[in-house]
Amino acid sequence: MKAISVHDLTKVFGSTVAVDHISFDTEEGEIFGLIGLNGAGKTTTILMLTTLLNPTSGTATVCGYDILKEKDSIRRSIGVVFEEQAVDIYLTGRQNLDFSVRMYNVPAKERRERITNALEAIGLADFADVKVKDYSGGMLRRLEIARAMLTNPKVLFLDEPTIGVDVQTRRYLWDYLRRVNKELGMTIFISTSYLEEADYLCNRVALIDEGKLIATGTPEELKASIGKNLVSIKVATGINADFVKLLQGLDYVEKIEERDGSLELSLKNGSIGIPDIVRLARRNGFTISSISSHNPSLNDVLLHYTGKKAEG
Amino acid sequence: MVSETILSAKEKKPLLEWTPIYSMWLREIIRFFNMKSRVISSIIQPFLFLGLMAIPFSNLIPPEAQGMMSQMFGGLSFFGFLAPGIVGIGLLTTGIMGGVTVIWDKEFGFLKEVMVAPVRRISLMIGRSLGGMTIAVFQALLTIGVAALFGIWYDFQIQGIAGVGLALVFIILTFATFIGAGITLGGMFEETEGFMSIVMLLQMPMLFLSGAFVPIDRLSGVPVLYQLQFINPLTYGIDGIRAALTGAPPFLPLWVDFTVILAFALVFLILGARAFNRMQLS
């Protein structure tokens, strides 16, 4: 059984199509990332999968349950960490967790145990009895994750879990999620516009843009799909059509794009690319003012498929 | 769109989900006690209303006119007349303001957290209303106690435990009406500002046209105002509370007061539950 299975899921708000016929599967026990820029439709997708929003059309199952017909079965099987803060700041950390887990009819003794364990696992044990309004941003996030874990979910949903969180906490959370995924075999579904995060954490990702699913695969597959090596060239005299034609003649150049006054090349084999290109330019009287190469990242994947740059 | 009720029937849930109701209730109580300012203000408020309003007002009446005036107040002193009205006003304001917490929860995202739990929304609303009610009843009893204390000098006597018991029934129904109205209103607004301005607009006429300050029949002959009193739920609440507490004859028969306020309570609770059910995430 797939942990999550999505077919033609669509959500229309008024005249805007927030999510546009997306389909994908998430395997049990994997960390799956829904990646894309802000406003791409990630949050809307998560709200639909977590039964908080009904789709306009299409279907999806979570843990085998239908998101429309078996809402409560899904609610019993998942944990959710929302993008915006969703705790009561006038209660302490422990009170917040206690309140949450009561909703799931857990006996008192087990409730206390679970809360203590969850707080300890995420490093909040010392702040359990402090009111949440005195928490830092990172502590808030950790508390929310602890809360989502209390119900021993089969699938954990996290919407932009490390947005507005300092580098240290971010690292901590990544390690925590990896550990949980590995030790408990928990399926983790994460949405993020921070693509390094997806690259670091996710077994597979789906790239979404303007509500449409653009590409699905492992981060490595997606990166490989846009070439083994990326070279960016600036020509002193500006971009020249003859020079572009010259580059197009090279058999290891897969794709050439102009962007912000420089040429972006996808190469099959990078190691011989740069010296070769420099030689070629010099021989034909073009002056290269800068040339650099790097291995593609998910940011390049986003740029390649959508023409958009990731923020930050 | 598939409606929630059909689904819940299919997935079999108990009619009343005690634990979630209890935890929503507990949350309201803990929140109340966690905010020291709220605790202090709810204790001081009865003293302020009774001390700064009821006592000065009752001093308007010269001693030699007391007898004549008390006929107007159904045999009560002006203070004795005002005190039950102040109890009613407290129920109106805390009840309707209960709706603002719904908006806070929307703003702070807390609503999402509880809505993703496998619990019926009606349970969430019942729990929250009961929490507010507990606090409101506590405040009403405190007001009655303080009034009885001042009443030693200003002539306000409670008609025994049975009277308080009956008053409590009216207090609960009056509060249920206004918390239902508050939640209904809260469901219609996305931010506190809009909600507050409407609440102000509604509260003023309800406060002054309820028989809290001026006996209902004193307005007979004043067109519109007189009639408006009878569409105000608070009128029936206060009439009932006053008669129950003091033993003074009610303006309407007590069973009428009871039936009308019960009907109002049911209607507004149902409206509130619907508003809660419909609440969608933006």
pLDDT digits 0-9 by tens, B232-257: 999 999 999 999 999 999 999 999 99
Please report the number of interchain residue pairs, chain A to chain B, with beta-carbon separation below 8 angstroms.
86
Is A189 domain-assigned?
A: yes
Report if residue A14 sits inside a domain: yes
Is any Cβ of chain A less than 8 angstroms from the Cβ of B61?
no
Residue B133 has pLDDT above 80, yes or no: yes
Of the candidates A192, A217, A242, which is a domain's last residue? A217
Q: State whether A132 and A213 are in the same domain.
A: yes
Tell me the chain B residues in contact with residue A133 when contact means C-beta distances shorter than 8 Å. none
pLDDT one-digit tens code per residue, B170-218: 999 999 999 999 999 998 888 889 999 999 999 999 999 999 999 999 9
- Nearest neighbour of B114 by CB, restricted to A53, A71, A103: A103
Centre a 10 Å sphere on the Cβ of residue B163 and count the other Cβ atoms it contains.
18
Q: Which pLDDT does position A238 carry in this prediction?
A: 74
- Judged by CB atoms within 8 Å, which residues 46-85 of A form the interface with B? 47, 50-54, 68-73, 75-76, 78, 80, 82, 84-85
Contact between B170 and B257 (Cβ < 8 Å): yes
Chain A neighbors of B109, CB-CB under 8 A? 82, 84-86
In this structure, the answer to whether residues A14 and A79 fall within a common structural domain is: yes
- Which residue of A52, A91, A104 is in closest CB contact with B281? A52
Return the CA Rg of chain B: 20
Q: How confident is the model at residue B38 (pLDDT cuts 50, 70, 90)?
A: confident
Verify that A72 and A137 share a domain, yes or no: yes
In chain A, what residues touch B21 (CB-CB under 8 Å)? none
Q: Is A132 exposed, middle or buried (0-12, 13-18, 19+ CB in 10 A)?
A: buried
Question: Using a CB-CB distance cutoff of 8 angstroms, which residues of chain B are in contact with residue A99?
Answer: 23, 26-27
Helix, strand, coil shares of chain B, percent, nearest 5, are 80, 0, 20
Looking at residue A92, the DSSP 8-state letter turns out to be: B
Residue A159 lies in a domain: yes
What's the gap in Å between the CA of A8 and the closest CA on chain B?
16
Q: Do B117 and A100 touch (CB under 8 A)?
A: yes
For position A24, what pLDDT does the model report?
Answer: 96
State how many domains chain A has: 2
CB A189 within 8 A of CB A32: yes
**Which run of H or E residues covers position A25?**
strand A16-26
**A100 in B contact zone (CB under 8 Å):** yes
Confidence at residue A182, expressed as pLDDT on a 0 to 100 scale: 95
User: Chain B contact for A112, CB < 8 A?
Assistant: no
Going by C-alpha positions, the residue among B237, B215, B240, B236 that lies closest to residue B226 is: B215
Torsion sign over Cα A25, A31, A37, A41: positive
Q: Determine whether the interchain pair B13/A72 forms a contact, defined as Cβ–Cβ distance below 8 Å.
A: yes
Whats the size of chain B, residue-wise?
Answer: 282
Domain termination residue (choose one: A217, A245, A277): A217
More confident residue, A260 or B11: A260
Does residue A190 lie in a domain region? yes
State the CATH number of the domain containing residue A276.
3.30.70.260
Distance CA B89, CA A271 (A): 82
Chain B residues touching residue A105 (CB < 8 angstroms): 19
A185 and A45 both lie in a single domain: yes
- How do beta strands A155-159 and A78-81 pair? parallel
Please tell me the distance in Å from B45's CA to the nearest CA on chain A: 22
**Would you call B30 and A95 a contact, using CB atoms and an 8 Å cutoff?**
yes
Helices B121-154 and B160-188, interaxial angle, to 10°? 130
Q: Which of A217, A245, A269 is the last residue of a domain?
A: A217
8 Å CB contact of A103 and B281: no
In a domain, A260, yes or no: yes
The answer to whether residues B109 and A85 touch, using CB atoms and an 8 Å cutoff, is yes
Chain B residues with CB-CB distance to A71 below 8 A? 4, 7, 11, 118
State pTM to two decimals: 0.78
Residues A291 and A162 in one domain: no
Kindly state whether residues A232 and A211 are assigned to the same domain.
no
Residue-wise pLDDT tens for chain A (312 aa)? 899 999 999 999 999 999 999 999 999 999 999 999 988 999 999 999 999 889 999 999 999 999 999 998 999 999 999 988 888 888 899 999 998 888 888 888 999 999 999 999 999 999 999 999 999 989 999 999 999 999 899 999 999 999 888 899 999 999 999 999 999 999 999 999 999 999 999 999 999 999 999 999 999 999 888 877 788 888 877 777 788 887 777 777 877 888 777 888 888 765 567 788 888 888 888 888 888 888 888 988 888 888 887 765
Please tell me the distance from the alpha carbon of residue A40 to that of residue A305, in angstroms, as a whole number: 13
* A99 and A192 together in one domain: yes
Whether A312 is covered by a domain: the verdict is: no
- Whether residue B1 is predicted with pLDDT greater than 80 in this model: the reply is no
Clarify whether residues A261 and A169 are in a common domain.
no
Q: How far is B108 from chain A (nearest CA, A)?
A: 6
A211's tokens? 């509500």
At position A151, the amino acid (one-letter code) is T
Question: Is A311 part of a structural domain of the chain?
Answer: no
Same domain, A71 and A159: yes
**Is the same domain home to A50 and A199?**
yes
**Residues of chain B numbered 97-126 and touching chain A (CB < 8 Å):** 108-110, 112-119
CATH number where A123 lies: 3.40.50.300
Which residues in chain A touch residue B26, judged by CB atoms under 8 angstroms apart?
Answer: 99, 102
The reply to whether A87 and A233 lie within a common domain is: no
Domain assignment present for A302:
no
Subunit contact B115:A52, Cβ cutoff 8 A: yes
pLDDT at B4 over 80: no
Which domain, by its residues, includes A140? 4-217
State whether A14 and A105 are in the same domain.
Answer: yes
CA distance A194 to chain B (A): 22
Contact A119, A92 (CB under 8 A): no
Percentage of chain B surpassing pLDDT 70? Answer: 94
Q: What ipTM did this prediction achieve?
A: 0.72
Q: pLDDT of B78-128, one tens digit each?
A: 999 999 999 999 999 999 988 888 888 777 777 788 888 888 888 888 998
